[in-house]
Structure 1
């Protein structure tokens, strides 16, 4: 049982790997030490569950995750946690990628299924990079296939919205376009 406890705590650090796998950049962050803060921590050894509550903050390099509650859990026979759930109003993460771009995501609930290599943002979900963004009731990211699926709740006024913002023209681009 103590072995499971140690494995659960050590695998808790896998929550920080989610954005790395999702964005396939920002790898330098994961060689940095990780700092986890919360006002309260509860470990349920019997049920292989770790719960952090009240102003949960995870920092590792440029990676920043904020949530009201974070739960890491493992199935009965698992040696490490395989499901991570961050909840908040909203739960957020941000990371500066290796190319200098910043990625931001937020949702009422962010769930990472490690064994399935899948990330789910649910409840007012939004993911953005630069000035482009996608939002919906549920955004699923398949890490292995590198695909994103956004869906609405199906209600009449519920829609998936994606915004693509073109790059601003520079003076040199405008001059080149004026001279045929």
Structure 2
């Protein structure tokens, strides 16, 4: 019984933490061993829910998630976890993509909806890639379509802020501008 429970727990953690949509973005990471650390772990088999608390750290290749709490759950008819919620002050996600670009995200709550291949960052949300970033109260990142939507809280002074940082000019760029 203990061996079966241990096997079930291992499979649940692996399914919970390797969303298929992310595989397309950082394929090489998912051939690496996964390490999950927390001070406390609770698996509720009856309700298909796994909760990790107190300094949660997940590492797999270049992928790194840090949170105060991570909950993975399955809907009633699902065979595997389909919703993952990381909470922190802030919860953070980072990964080096196959093309070498780094993507970083942080928010009070990061929710991944596996079936929809969607990441929702809520509460002081920020996402950045390269030298550009977006921040707002809610940021939705469609992993499959590679689109980002940011919204403000709707309060009077609440705004979505996007920053585009220009690429620094090199000496060859300067020479090309001087010699038409």
So what's the TM-score if we normalise by structure 1? 0.90
Query: How has the CA–CA distance of structure 1 residues 117 and 99 changed in structure 2, closer, same or farther, with 3 Å as cutoff?
Result: closer
1:75 shift after superposition: 1.6
Q: Which residue of 1 aligns with 2:126?
A: 126
Determine if contact 2:38/2:57 at 8 Å carries over to the other structure: yes
Q: Which residue of 1 aligns with 2:31?
A: 31
Query: How has the CA–CA distance of structure 1 residues 150 and 109 changed in structure 2, closer, same or farther, with 3 Å as cutoff?
Result: same
Aligned length: 178
1:160 equivalenced with 2:160 (yes/no): yes
Measure, in 2, the Cα distance between the counterparts of 1:122 and 1:132.
19
| Structure with more contact order per residue of length (Cα contacts < 8 Å, sep ≥ 6) | 1
1:101 equivalenced with 2:101 (yes/no): yes
Q: Which residue of 1 aligns with 2:45?
A: 45
Determine if contact 2:69/2:87 at 8 Å carries over to the other structure: yes
Superposition pairs for residues 1-180 of structure 1, below 5 Å? 9-18=10-19, 21=21, 24-180=24-180
1:165 shift after superposition: 0.8
Measure, in 2, the Cα distance between the counterparts of 1:95 and 1:159.
27
What 5-or-longer segments of structure 1 have no aligned partner? none
| Residue aligned with 1:172, SS | helix
Measure, in 2, the Cα distance between the counterparts of 1:179 and 1:119.
47
Query: How has the CA–CA distance of structure 1 residues 34 and 67 changed in structure 2, closer, same or farther, with 3 Å as cutoff?
Result: same
Superposed CA RMSD in Å reads 2.2
